[in-house]
Structures are given as C-alpha cells and as structure tokens.
Structure 1
Amino acid sequence: MSSLITTPFTATSTATEVLAGVDLSGVRAIVTGASSGLGAETARVLAAAGAEVTYAVRNPAAVAEASRVARLDLADQASVRRFTEAWAGPLHLLVANAGIVTGGLARTPEGWELQFATNHLGHFTLAAGLRDALAAGAADRGEARIVALSSTAHMRAGVDFTDLHFTRRPYDPQLAYAQSKTANSLFAVEATRRWAADGIFANAVNPGGVATGLQRDFTDAQKASLAAAEAAGIFRYKTVGQGAATTIVAAVAPEFARTGGHYLDDAREAYTVPDDADLADHPHGVKAWALDPDLARRLWTVSAELTGFAER
C-alpha cells in the first residue's frame, strides 16, 4: 500500500502561507462561489500570486471589484452551459468551491434535489463542459488541476443510487448534504481516471469547520449537530484563511502534481476508514464509499444521463 501524500503544511497553515513564494503568472483559474467565504479567499490569494482568476458567481455585482467576473448558477443547467460555451482558451485550474445547504426539501425544475443538483450535478456539467479547455491547459503547462470541495459531512452518507433525489425516503437535509459531498469526492476519483491521460487531475478537499454564509440556512437540528461535533472535539473552527489552505495545497502544491483521486484534509491526504466507522473516532479520515472506483464510475454514468452529457 502506498504511503499517504503529505506536505509541509498543517491544519493551522493559511492559504497565503501555502502560496508564499509561488508565482502563478500565466495560470488561468476559475473559482466557483467566489463572492464570499472560502471561495472569495481562494480567488483572492490565487490572484495575489499572479493567476488570472475568473470569479464564477450567481451575483456578479457582489464581486464588482474583481477584474474577471462571470455569472454562474450551478442549480441551473442552462446557466452552466452558457458559462462553458462562453469560455475561450486554455484553463489550468478549476476550483469547484460553491455549495449550498438547505433547511428543507427544495427541487430544481428537473425535479432534482437542490443540494445534489447544485453541489454535484452543476459542477459535473461545468467540468465536463470545460474538459477541452482543461486539456489545452494541461498541454500548455504539463497538467491541469480540478479541486472539488467536499466535507467531513460526507461521512454521514454515501450516494443512494436508488433514491438520489429523495422521492421515496423521508427528506433529511443533513443526509442530502452528506450525499452531495460524497459525490464531490467520487467525481474527483472518476474524473482523474478518465482524464489523466490528457493531463487533467482532480482531487477532493475538506476545508474543515469554517464559519461562512453556508450555515445561514441551517435548521435548529443542524446547528445542534454542529455544536455537538465541536464540543466532542470532532473539529475546531478554522479561520477562512486556514480553511482555504487545503484547497490551495490541492491547487498548486508540487506534492500533488499529476496525481488525483485523493481526498485531502488539513493540507495532506487523508487516511481511509471503513464505511461503518464513527465520525467522532475519525474526524480527519475519508470513508471508503467516497473513494470507491466502482461507485465513482456509476455516479459518472448517472450524472451524464441526468445532465445529457455524453460520456468521455
């Protein structure tokens, strides 16, 4: 068994520290959800290091100070396709950062459960539509990277292929969110398998506990669960800069050059735990169901069928 990939950085490192001395001139990057929180910090530090960063956001007016802003609503497949069709030239880095949490059941016009549709399917269509641009970026610089933001929440649930959109089982927003975060990790596994030959590598990251606008729609039960996890020592809150650090490690660290399908936590590759493992005992692990290559292939096939993207 190969050893886990480590870096010089830790849980307390900041995104700025990870990028110290790194010159990203010539790198073209897209960061989704870059109007606030982790996305804003990720976009800011990448731009400060010289990257040409496109802020892909639902409300462009919220980031009017950025030099490159484009509208992107991940819950709207037409919006995603307009974004990808408008993109020109190579792409070296795609940070799939945006995400939502709902307090109750909401659906897209297609009938898709909103968290799964936004957090996974929207990013799936985005990456698939930008595949050729990423391949051009890899030809340009030797590799292109995709960073998919997952979460410790993935440990609560795998992907239920029998009822992806909660049409039969009772709706639980925490399970729905967990399923979408497992899907983010499985996407990284299969995208790497399919696209590594073209120099495209995807990894999933857990930013850790960060107080952002993502929690604004938490139910009382979700808030109580979060408080209990903090009290139990499952996680400690990080600053936004610390939360973005693992994303930046996956985006630029030489240790993750031309390798993908990994799940990163606290700036290093996380250890894998059994699917029945207790979150309280393994706060920095990744469940096997989030890295399973067979599940990753199945999810890709289902996602391609739902979104209408031909498999490649």
Structure 2
Amino acid sequence: MTTSELVRTPFSRETTAMEVVRDLDLAGRRAIVTGGASGIGVETARALAAAGADVTLAVRNIEAGQRAAADITASTGNEGILVAPLDLADPGSVAAFVRTWDGPLHMLVDNAGIMASPEMRTPQGWEMQFATNHLGHFALATGLYRALAAAEGARIVSVSSSAHLRSPVVFEDIHFHQRPYDPWAAYGQSKTANVLFAVEVTRRWAGDGILSNALMPGAIRTNLQRYVSDEDLARLRAESGGGAAPNWKNTEQGAATSVLVAASPLLNGVGGRYFEDCQEAGPNQPGTRTGYAPYARDPEAAVRLWEVSEEHLQS
C-alpha cells in the first residue's frame, strides 16, 4: 500500500468526537458501545447519540451504565440510550446479551478492555486480557452477525493500541502456559488480535455489507490504566527509546477516531485497515510507536486467529 492510497480526512489528533459527527445525521441507526460507561467509551456513545443514533451501553457495572446513559441524554437530548449487562470474559454473559438483541445493528464499537493486568485467568483457563479484549468481542460480533448483516452497511470498530507493536499473537502459547507471564506482552498480543480481527471480518463479511477497521485512540488517562503506575509508564518509555512523556489526549479527543471509524461517510467501503489520530496509518517505521506492525495485518494470521477463536468458544 502506498501513502497515496491511505484514507485522509480533515480531522487531526486534536479533533474531538463531537467535531467528527458535527454534520452527520445518524437518526434511525443503532449502535452498541462496549465499556460505554466511562473513558473514551462514554464519549464515543455521547457523540453517536448527539448525531441521533440509538445507543446501547454494554457494561459490567449496570449502575455506572445508567448514570452514563442519564448524562448522555441530558447532554444530547437523545432518550434512545439503553443499558445492558455484558461481561466480555464470560461467554455465558455474551450469549445472554446476544439473545436479547432484536433487529438490525449498524455500529458495533468494541471499546471495552483491560490493560497490563496482573496474571488472571477465566474459569476456562484463558488469560484474562486475551479473553476480554479479543475473545469476548469475537463472540459478541459473531453472535450478532445476523443483526449486523440486516443493517445492510454495518461497521465494527475494533479499538486496538500502539501496544500491539509489543507482540504478535503467539499461537503456540496464547495463554502463557509455557512462557512466563508478562502483562505488557499479554496486552500487546490482545491488541494485535483486535487488528487481525478487523482484517478477517472484512474478508469474510464484506459481501454481507459488514466492514471492520481497527484503531489506536491515543494516550488517554482513563480507568483502563488502573493497573499501570507512573513508574511503569516511565520504564516503558525508556525501553522504547523515548524519554518524553506521552502526548496525552483528553477523552473527547481519544474518542474521535472511534467515532470516525464507526460513522464517517469518509470511510464508506473501507475495511481491514488501521487508523490513528483520525487518519489511516501506514506500516510502523523502526524507532517509532506509530503505524501498524506487518504481523497485525497478515491475512494468514487473521485466518488462523479466527479459527482458533472459534475453537475456544466451542470448547
């Protein structure tokens, strides 16, 4: 892919989610935002609601979701904000959510996640970051396939991270049964899976009108970093050769690329790509933390991940 082929927009890293939807009319469209009760999730939901979409906040904490829904309605005037329970690490919870959904789904924003957590496992023995950040969203999307196809132009937003540059999906030992557990390697692997998922959704489902793109929202201080200390951040900057502090975005700016990928007509017909700062990104260049790792858009790895994910959910 050459630079001239990359999608370019009039937006930038300073753009807010509300600015992305300023001229959009999403009335009649339905969206799900996982992790929509806080951080960039709530600002993603708020912007989609401001443009007229009906938005379901899929959250673990129902009370927090209800507070967020009330706040979104108060700030946008949109009363079509629903709250539904969803624990992405629990296949039963995902299945229950899918069973309650009725009708078409135009936008699925896979926003929820955990970052660099201590070693934790699901009852199935799955490493928690991979289970939550990838497998849960995989189960949700495949479970909602008919609803997405019924929209006749659905988009799946796969919120990844520059941390995907830290690790490919290590298929030989996804769940750290043989290798020592490393929280950042586990997080990076799960974020690579998010990009590969967008690649394979587009290959498999584009003919059904379903496209998916992945994105890096930027450095935003939210509850996502509850396991990450300032000392951790300093160490990671040193390891990557960068001594400068992250160029932080606020949550409104952090949600902008998600909203662009979810709703902008500038991305009509575009799938399987990687965006950051409201622009399509090219391949990562050595010595930088921007762009995508080639292994994250490897079509063979994308097929393998899909098959492995299906095997997990069938076991």
* TM-score interval (norm. to shorter): over 0.9
SS across alignment from 1:148: strand
* Deviation sequence 1:179-199 (CA, Å, 0-9, x none): 000000000000110000000
Is residue 290 of structure 1 aligned with residue 304 of structure 2?
no
Which position in structure 1 is the counterpart of 2:265? 254
C-alpha separation between the residues in 2 aligned to 1:82 and 1:103? 26
Is residue 306 of structure 1 aligned with residue 312 of structure 2?
yes
Is residue 104 of structure 1 aligned with residue 110 of structure 2?
no
Which position in structure 1 is the counterpart of 2:21? 19
C-alpha separation between the residues in 2 aligned to 1:135 and 1:63? 27
Which residue identity does 1:290 align to in structure 2?
A: A
Q: Is the 1:191–1:202 Cα contact (8 Å) retained in structure 2? A: yes
* Deviation sequence 1:150-180 (CA, Å, 0-9, x none): 0000001100000000000000000000000
C-alpha separation between the residues in 1 aligned to 2:117 and 2:142? 29
Q: Percent identity?
A: 54
1:1-312 pair list within 5 angstroms: 1-2=1-2, 3-65=5-67, 66=69, 67-138=81-152, 143-218=153-228, 222-226=232-236, 228=238, 232-233=243-244, 235-273=246-284, 278=286, 281-308=287-314
C-alpha separation between the residues in 2 aligned to 1:80 and 1:290? 25
Q: Is the 1:37–1:213 Cα contact (8 Å) retained in structure 2? A: yes
Which residue identity does 1:267 align to in structure 2?
A: C
* Deviation sequence 1:268-291 (CA, Å, 0-9, x none): 110113xxx54xx22221110111
Q: Return the offset for 1:79.
A: 0.1
Give the gaps of 5 or more residues in structure 1.
none
Which residue identity does 1:22 align to in structure 2?
A: L
* Deviation sequence 1:100-138 (CA, Å, 0-9, x none): 124321000000000000000000000000010000011
* Deviation sequence 1:228-283 (CA, Å, 0-9, x none): 4696358411011111111111111222112200000110110113xxx54xx222
C-alpha separation between the residues in 2 aligned to 1:118 and 1:125? 10
Give the gaps of 5 or more residues in structure 2.
70-80
SS across alignment from 2:126: coil
Q: Return the offset for 1:227.
A: 5.3
Q: TM-score, normalised by structure 2?
A: 0.91
**Count, aligned residues:** 300
C-alpha separation between the residues in 2 aligned to 1:34 and 1:230? 34
C-alpha separation between the residues in 2 aligned to 1:27 and 1:115? 31
Q: Is the 2:16–2:255 Cα contact (8 Å) retained in structure 1? A: yes
C-alpha separation between the residues in 1 aligned to 2:9 and 2:98? 33
- Would you identify which runs of 4 or more consecutive aligned residues in structure 1 move more than 4 Å? 226-231
C-alpha separation between the residues in 1 aligned to 2:13 and 2:120? 34
SS across alignment from 2:247: coil
The more displaced of 52-61 and 63-72 is 63-72
Q: Is the 1:103–1:219 Cα contact (8 Å) retained in structure 2? A: no
Q: TM-score, normalised by structure 1?
A: 0.92
Q: Is the 1:208–1:235 Cα contact (8 Å) retained in structure 2? A: no
Q: Return the offset for 1:45.
A: 1.1
SS across alignment from 2:31: strand
Which residue identity does 1:257 align to in structure 2?
A: N
RMSD, aligned α-carbons: 1.7
Which residue identity does 1:70 align to in structure 2?
A: A
Q: Is the 2:165–2:289 Cα contact (8 Å) retained in structure 1? A: no
C-alpha separation between the residues in 2 aligned to 1:233 and 1:270? 22
C-alpha separation between the residues in 2 aligned to 1:151 and 1:230? 18
Going from structure 1 to structure 2, the CA distance change for 1:236 and 1:22 (only over 3 Å counts) comes to same
Which residue identity does 1:297 align to in structure 2?
A: V
